[in-house]
Each structure stands twice: as C-alpha cells, then as structure tokens.
Amino acid sequence: MLRGQSVSAGLAVGRAAVLRTARGWVARVPIATHKVEAECRRLRVAAEAASGKLAALAGDRSAAIGGEVSAILSAHALIALDPDFLKPIEKMIRKEQVNAEWSLRFRAEELKSEFGRLSDPVFSERGDDVLEVARAIAAELAGPPERAFQALAVDGGSILVADELSPAQAARLNPRHFTGIALERGGIHSHAAIIARSFGLPAVVGVAGLLDLVAKSRPIIVDGDRGTVEPNPTKEQIRRGLERAQSRQREREKKTAPRRADPGTADGVRVAFRANLELEAEAEALESSGAEGIGLFRSEFLALDVPGGAPGVEEQQRVYEALLRRAKPHPVVVRTYDLGGEKEFGAPATGPLGLRGIRYSLANPAMFRDQLRALLRASRQGDLRILLPMVSDVGEVREARRHLADVAREEGIERIPAVGAMVEVPSAALTAPALAGECDFFSIGTNDLAQYTLAADRSDPGVASYYRPASPAVLRMIKWVVDAGERSNRPVSVCGELAGDPLGAALLVGLGVRDLSMSPVLIPRVQDALGMLDSARLVEIASRALDCKTSDEVVDVLNRLKKKIDA
C-alpha cells in the first residue's frame, strides 16, 4: 500500500489508465518483431524533426540569443542526425526489440559516461550536449502534449494514474471516464486537486514511486479518505472496496435531495451558495447541488484546451451563453483569463510572481479584446458578470474598463455587465476602498490570497504547513475587504476553497460574507452546517479568530465550533 496526500474524499476501484505527462524518459517497452522496423523509422522521423527545430532556433535572428548559444543549437541540430549517434540506437532497437525511447536513453547515457571519463573538461561536457539532444528527440517521440491525452485509452470507471497534471493537462481530461485520480506529484491545493474535488472524484497526490508499481489496465484502489493507493489489490480487497464505494454513492445520492428554499443560518440570515466551475460540463451539477448560479467560471481552461492559443470569439460566446442558460435566473460570474505562470501550454513557467492574470491579458490586448467581445455578446442572454483576476491596483481595473468600453462601442452594446475585482494579492486587499470606486463587486480568492500573504506556494508540499488560509493575517485582510465593500455598497463574495469547508464558511459568514462560491459537490454539506448555527454565534467566533495571534489558535477556536456541527 502506497501513501500520499488525500485531496478529495471517497473511494474508487477500477483499472489503471496510466499517463506520463512530465518531461523525462519513458520506461523500457518490448516491441513485437514485425514492428521493429517501424520503430526505427519512428526514431529517424523524430530525430529529423528535432534537428529541424534546433536549426530553426539557431537561425532565428528575432530571438534574444547570442552567437555562442546559436552555435550550440546548430551543433545540437547536427548531432541529432549524426549516423554515429543514431545507428547504435537503431541497432539496439533491432537486437533487443525495445522501444526507441529506451534505446535513445541508453545510448545518450552511455555517451555521457564515456565523455565524463575524459580528463579534458571541454570534452567531458559534451555528454551534457548529447543528453540535451536526446531529450529533444524524446520530446518529438512523445508528440504534442495533447496527443498523449488523445491516445489515452480508457473504459468507463477507469482510474487516472499519472506523474503530475498541469492545469492545462487537467483541462483535457473527460471526468466522465474516471472514478478516481492518483498522482506521483502535486499538492493538496494544486489545480489538479481542485478539479478532482469539483467532479467529486476520490484523489490522492504526492504518491512516491506510483508509476513504477502500477500496471496499465490492472485493478487499483484509490482511497481518498485515508490518502492511500493499493496498486495490486487482492480479490477480497477489490470486493470490499467496491462495497464501500457503492455505499458512498448511495449516501451521495441521498444528499442530492432538494435543498432549503432559503439557505443560510439557523436564525434566518440569508447566504447565497454559488458554484465554482472550470469546465462547461460541470454546469450539469448546478440544479442537483442547489447552486444559485455560477460564482466563478475559470475561463482560462477554455484557452488551455486549445493548442496554440485561445478559442475564437464565437466558440467562447457559445460556452458563455450555454452557462447562462443553465444558470437562469441566477448570475454567471466569468473570470477573464488567469493565464501565465503554470497555466500556459508551450511556455516556460513564470512562477506565481510572473506575468499572469489581468497583467497577462493587458499585455496581450488582442486576445483580451476577443474575450471581452464574446462576453459582451453573451451578456444579452442573462446576468453575466465579468471578474478581473490578480488585480493589484486601480490602474489595472481602469485599463481593463477602457478595453471593455471600446469593444462595447464597436459592438453597439450600451449595457455593460458588472465588472468585479478578484482580491487575491495583499495590495488589492489593502487598497480595497480605492478599488471599490472602480469596481461593481469584489470576489475574494482565499487560495492565492493566503499564498501571497504567507509566502507559501500552495502547490509545494515542502511548505504545506505554512499555507494556512485561516491564518489571522488572511482573516484580517478578508474583514478589511468586507468592511470596505459595505461602506461602498459593493457586494463581496468568496470563491476560494475556504468557502467550501463547513468551518471556513461559518467563519466567513461571521466576518460578514453573504455570498459563497465553491465546488458544486460541496454545497449541500456547507448548507447543512450553516443551517445548524446562529449568526450571532458566528460573529462571536469570527471576532475571537481575528484576535488570535497564530493559525493554531484559530484552529482551536474553530474546533469548538466543529463540536456543535458534529453534534
């Protein structure tokens, strides 16, 4: 049994659909005799493609590379087609009947070792050049990122087993094919974890050595309650697991019963519960979950699903209109592309402090205007609201509004949708009174607000203990924004994962938040918890939490509330 981090509760039993997504070497795979020559041709085609791309990079005068780098790339392009490099690889494919990737790896590492034994450092470093060339060819053998997903053969009820999933890769998955997810890497607050929770899929991440122990199409059990993965379950373990999974499903079906007409606290304080969605298909859960519309549609997943760029205006408009039809008569809040950083196909990761969110959109005005055009056209069909991500100051909102006004004039649209600022960086929280003069509403993203306030990457397991969304510092920022919204008559919602936790939601209501947005599957549980509590009690709890000096003290305060909910 393997252990990892539980990121989505439940238990799943199924056959493993194995997907390697990270850049690296592929394992040794036997090749049938009649496929050996085709495998050699596959190697040559990949080598030619890699050589061509390396040569193109070397000769690209528009790129910011110097003559030395250009010379290195030119040399790499030649190595990729060098018979002395390729022929031993083909020989190994024929002799041992193994895949090209493995033979390529063996030859590259063999050459690196030979070069490494030379005393002259100039020659010893040539081993690194060979490895770089081999990786370039391996990337061509793997094909575009989307090809791996298209080739992933799955049956209904499969369990996705992968090394890791970027937001872009996760967006390419059809959740209907899977009953669970297990990943070698990833943190409890990673985007893959958020997607798993959105679809109610049991998931465990950070499982060391997972791909070495899981065989394709073999049974596997993922226990999202205990944070474990059983890669080779016995028949008895499979039987017990299926019984438990079926029992969980029956419990889940009971919770999809109609919700209360006026959800909120026990003493009648009204709270709106809306859904966080990343994919259009998730909108099917709006009615069964009791969601009052969509509080956050992460539109960047539309762009991530299109290799080479964002979808056209018409396709975006179709998606937004479909969401509005599903949500009527409730609102749909569409966050403009939160691209950049790790959420961009084919580009180097810029990290959480790089060009992302509204800054990325303003730096790419053509793409931004296309999205605004689609949003404006779709807004004729219902209550659509536009949310700007990663806002850090008033100037960004003003510039975004200028683009919106220009596009509206071009389209002949007089009624411009409400525009909100997403509060997820400390500067936005601290300048909320000023932002209120430029925005129609606020939406607090507690995930990133905690990450930036506490300097703890929410996807990095190494700092998981420092990532505490309910820390006193984060709570005081939330309260500051709520108060600024009340003074300016600007609605304030929370769409971060703190809203989807019963205790976190109770704390937020105590702080004055009356609009919560979360994964649809979490709504019934949060509604039930708040329905047991009086608002006066929640205000008292929130006041105590604000006076705490450490996150552990806040946890102690919330644990007293937990006893009331569990009673």
The set of catalytic residues is 191, 495
The burial of 339, by beta-carbon neighbours within 10 Å (0-12 exposed, 13-18 middle, 19 or more buried), is given as buried
What are the tokens at 236?
């008895």
Return phi, psi of residue 153, to 5°: -80, 120
Q: How many CB atoms lie within 10 A of CB 120?
A: 9
CA distance 391 to 423: 7
Closest residue by Cα to residue 93 from 85, 107, 108, 103: 103
Helix/strand/coil for 516: strand
**Cβ–Cβ < 8 Å for 321, 381:** yes
CA distance 524 to 289: 6
CA distance 358 to 371: 12
CA distance 99 to 120: 34
Closest residue by Cα to residue 541 from 496, 506, 492, 512: 506
**Cβ–Cβ < 8 Å for 134, 108:** yes
Q: What contacts 403, CB < 8 A, 6 or more positions away?
A: 362, 365, 368, 369, 372
The burial of 322, by beta-carbon neighbours within 10 Å (0-12 exposed, 13-18 middle, 19 or more buried), is given as middle
